[in-house]
Amino acid sequence: MINVTIAVLLGLLAISIPVAAVLGIVGLVLDQTYSFLPLYLAIGEFSWAVSNDVILVAVPLYILLGEILLRSGIAERMYAAMMHWMSWLPGGLMHSNIGTCTLFSAVSGSSVATAATIGTVAMGEIEKHGYNERLFVGTVAAGGTLGILIPPSINMIVYGVLTETSIPQLYLAGMIPGLVLAGLFMLTVIIGCLARPVWGGRKIETDWAQRWASLPDLLPPFIIFVVVIGSIYGGLATPTESAALGVIIALGLAAWRRRLTWTMMRDALEGTMRSTAMIMAILLGAYFLNFVISSIGLAAQVNAFVTDIGLTPMGTLIVVVLFYLVLGMFMETLSMMIATIPIITPVIIALGFDPVWFGVLMMLLIETALITPPVGVNLYVVQGVRGRGQLHDVMIGAAPFVIALMAMIVLLIAFPGIALWLPETLAR
């Protein structure tokens, strides 16, 4: 049964059938082959149940929030301000790329949106200041991955819904690892530019007067972050309601910048609808597949298989990490999450691992998948924004940051408190 599932899933993906359709087809094949009841008759009920989940309303709201910041020019001003504060480090604007990605991640919730937004703003600076192009684009691809780790994160919402894990707890758990990972990315740039100073480009001249003058342009992400996350932990709003508050503030900031126009809103809403439709289609297919998998006993087979191997809990965890690292090279990240988490997570929890901690580990594995070829989505996003050269340049530039992600995964496994300290402290 397991072999049939894997063969059909990978075979359909290999011939480029859309992921949402693949998940639904695999569910139908398993239903017709192994189920003694026509489970496909429940598709209508599942579609309604998934679409009617109030927590998922946060997904289009966070997407819309990022779209407004991008199309109103606020993200561009953030980048210019970050340039004054971080360009003194070895690597110059490459640190601005990572720093701005970190700030934008705190309001967008999407890695692809973060990479596309910062890439659009940053690409013109490569030749202007003489940076090593491969490393420069690598910082954008890697920095963009922070969008699914630093709250608010759309992927964390999906994980929370699939595993019935507290989303506020996941948000708290992702904060410190997100900042540590951003620091590791910056350390990677510093090491590279100290080893090869020519990679760091020409020094950008700035002064304290310009730095202080740019501070107001760094306030929007802080304001939105404080309102969105603060309203959740202050007990004033649910994650969905806080996302709506974030959109309202973003609209207010766009109006204050005099960029709130009908054209801007039309483009933002169109982008939101496209992204939301894709996510919801995948969710519908995945929920049906997961229902079939549970009904025919495949989940129990996986649990029995893992138990029969006889590995220690840590040994099993290492196997799961290696599984995701390999699978992430060949499968789109959201579909990979939805197709595997309902099967893998119960096994991990049964072994005694914390579901919140595993959620953060899962985000790191998804981040790694975003910048590992051949299907690393952020690699293609950055190359599309770059608009010249070869894709392998982006792959080579992102490679050092894959090593940084591996180091972060090892740190999180060795020291779970990196993720659990903040939620456990605030829960007391």
Say if 421 falls within a structural domain: yes
Range of the domain at 189: 42-427
pLDDT the model gives residue 16: 61
Q: Is residue 207 part of a domain?
A: yes
Average pLDDT, the chain: 81
What average pLDDT does range 58-79 have in this prediction? 80
Which pLDDT score is estimated for 190?
A: 92
Predicted pLDDT of residue 18? 65
0.85 cut: is pTM over it? no
- Most confidently modeled range among 12-16, 215-219, 336-340: 215-219
Task: Establish if 3 belongs to a structural domain.
Answer: no
Residue 11 lies in a domain: no
pLDDT digits (tens, 9 = 90+) for 286-305: 677 766 766 766 656 666 66
Say if 134 falls within a structural domain.
yes
Judge whether residue 415 has pLDDT over 90: yes
**What pLDDT sits at residue 294?**
66
Count of domains for the chain: 1
pLDDT class for 353, splitting at 50, 70, 90?
Answer: very high
Binned at pLDDT 50, 70 and 90, residue 411 comes out as: very high
pLDDT score for 8: 63
Residue 330 is predicted with a pLDDT of 67
Tell me, what's the pLDDT at 15? 61
Q: How confident is the model at residue 76 (pLDDT cuts 50, 70, 90)?
A: confident
Q: Is the pLDDT of residue 405 over 80?
A: yes
In a domain, 34, yes or no: no
In a domain, 398, yes or no: yes
Q: What is the 3-state secondary structure (H, E, C) of the chain?
A: CHHHHHHHHHHHHHCCCCHHHHHHHHHHHHHHHHCCCCHHHHHHHHHHHHHCCHHHHHHHHHHHHHHHHHHCCHHHHHHHHHHHHHCCCCCCHHHHHHHHHHHHHHHHCCHHHHHHHHHHHHCCHHHHHCCCHHHHHHHHHHHHHHHHCCCCCHHHHHHHHHHCCCHHHHHHHHHHHHHHHHHHHHHHHHHHHHHCHHHHCCCCCCCHHHHHHHHHHHHHHHHHHHHHHHHHHCCCCCHHHHHHHHHHHHHHHHHHCCCCCHHHHHHHHHHHHHHHHHHHHHHHHHHHHHHHHHHCCHHHHHHHHHHHHCCCHHHHHHHHHHHHHHHCCCCCHHHHHHHHHHHHHHHHHHCCCCHHHHHHHHHHHHHHHHCCCCCCHHHHHHHHHHCCCCHHHHHHHHHHHHHHHHHHHHHHHHCCHHHHHHHHHHHC
Q: Is residue 12 part of a domain?
A: no
Q: What is the per-residue pLDDT across 161-220, written as a single tens digit (0 to 9) for each?
A: 888 888 889 988 999 999 999 999 999 999 998 888 888 877 777 778 888 888 888 888
